Amino acid sequence: MGEILDGKAIGEALRNKVAVGVQAFVERTGRKPGLDVILVGEDPASSVYVRNKAKSTEAAGMRGEVHKLPADTSEESLLELVRSLDAREDVDGILVQLPLPKHIDAERVLDAVVPEKDVDGFHPVNAGLLFEGRRGLVPCTPWGCMRLLDHAGVDASGKNAVVLGRSNIVGKPAAMLLLQRNATVTIAHSKTKDLPDLCRTADILVAAVGRTEMVRGDWIKPGAVVLDVGINRKPDGKLAGDVAFEEARERAGWITPVPGGVGPMTIACLLENTLRAAWARAGLPPSELPL
C-alpha cells in the first residue's frame, strides 16, 4: 500500500518557508514582494482561483493585487495594463489568469509579460531557459511535482519517468525538470500506443491528461511514485484525478490524492516564484534566498 504524498501539508510547509523569505526580503529592501493577478471576465472557476491566490499572497506577507477587467475588454487595453505592470517597480510577479476570452490572443498577452516577472513560467524566454537546463522561472505545477519528489526522498537519477500529457503548462516542463534530474524520460500523449504497458515501465509516473481515472491500478509498476496532476469533475460533482487512486495505491510506493496532492503545491510554488522573482529583481544573492 503506497504512502500518500500530502500536498496540503507539504504545500503549507513551503508557504511557511516562503513567508520567512518574505520577511528577510522586507528587512533587506524595505518593501514587500508584490504579485499582480489579472482576471478578465467572470469565469466562476477562474474567480475562485484568483481569490485563493490573492488570499495566499497576503498570508505570506506579500502585496497582492487583483485587476478585474470586464469580459469585453479589448486586447489592446489588456496589453496596456500588462505593460504598465511590467514597468512598475513594486510589481515582482504578473499572472494573467487563463483562459482568456476568445477575442483575445492569449499568446500575445502572455508574451507581453517581462520574463523577470513571469511567475507562471510561461514566457518563451523562461521555457527556453528550462529547455537549456538553466534557471529561470519554472511553471508552478511541474515545479510542485519536483518538490513532492524531494519530500518523498526520491532521487530521479537513472529512473524511468513517464509523463502523460505534453502541454506547455504541465507535461513538457515536467519532462524537462525530470530530465534535469537525470531521469530517462518518455513523454506520452493522445497518439501514444500501448499506454498501459508504457506506464508499467515507470518508476515515476506523472499523469496530466485531464481524463477522469484513466490510469488504472494495473498500469502502475510496483513501488512507483505516482503524481496525479489531473483535476476532473465526476458526474456526481466530486473531484477526481487522472489516476484511479484506490487501485493505484495498492501498487504505488508513493501517490498523490486528488484533491490535496499536486493542487495545493501549485499555489505554494506560485508564492515561491514571486519571492524568487522579487529576490532577483532586487539584486540579492541567490545563495542567500532561504528556500
Catalytic residues: 53, 97, 120
CB of 70 to ligand NDP, least distance (A): 25
Q: Smallest distance, Å, CB 190 to ligand NDP?
A: 3
5: contact with ligand NDP by CB under 6 A:
no
Whole-angstrom CA distances from 52 to 35, 59, 69, 246, 247 are 13, 10, 18, 29, 31
Cα angle: 83, vertex 277, 230; to 5 degrees: 90
Residues with Cβ within 8 Å of residue 237, at least 6 apart in sequence? none
Give min distance, CB of 139 to ligand NDP, in A. Answer: 9
Which three three-digit cell numbers place residue 177? 525538470
Residues 6+ apart with CB under 8 A from 80: none
CA 243 remoteness from chain centre: 18
Query: How far is 244 from 102, CA to CA, in rounded Å?
Result: 33
Q: Contact with ligand NDP (CB under 6 A): which of 134, 189, 216, 238? A: 189
Residues 6+ apart with CB under 8 A from 37: 50, 53, 54, 64, 65, 66, 67, 95, 97
Q: By C-beta, is 141 or 160 nearer to ligand NDP? A: 141
Identify which range of 31-39, 62-70, 129-137, 223-231 contacts ligand NDP by CB under 6 A. 223-231
Which one of 90-98, 111-119, 183-191, 244-252 is the stretch in contact with ligand NDP (CB under 6 A)? 183-191
DSSP H or E run through 251: helix 245-251
Q: Please tell me the count of residues contacting ligand NDP according to CB under 6 A.
A: 25
- Cα gap 6→137, rounded to integer Å: 24
- Binding of ligand NDP at residue 263 (CB under 6 A)? yes
Binding status of residue 229 toward ligand NDP by CB under 6 A: yes
- In the list 73, 126, 141, 160, the residue contacting ligand NDP (rule: CB under 6 A) is 141
What per-residue string of b and e applies to 146-155 under the rule 16 or more CB within 10 Å gives b? bbbbebbebe
Residue 208 binds ligand NDP (CB under 6 A): yes
- The DSSP H or E segment spanning 228 is strand 225-228
Residues 159-178 that bind ligand NDP (CB under 6 A): 164-167, 169-171
Q: Output the smallest distance, CB 173 to ligand NDP, in A.
A: 10
* 262 is an interface residue for ligand NDP by CB under 6 A: yes
| Min CB(214)–ligand NDP separation in Å | 6
Residues of this chain that bind ligand NDP (CB under 6 A): 141, 164-167, 169-171, 188-192, 195, 208-211, 229-232, 262-263, 266
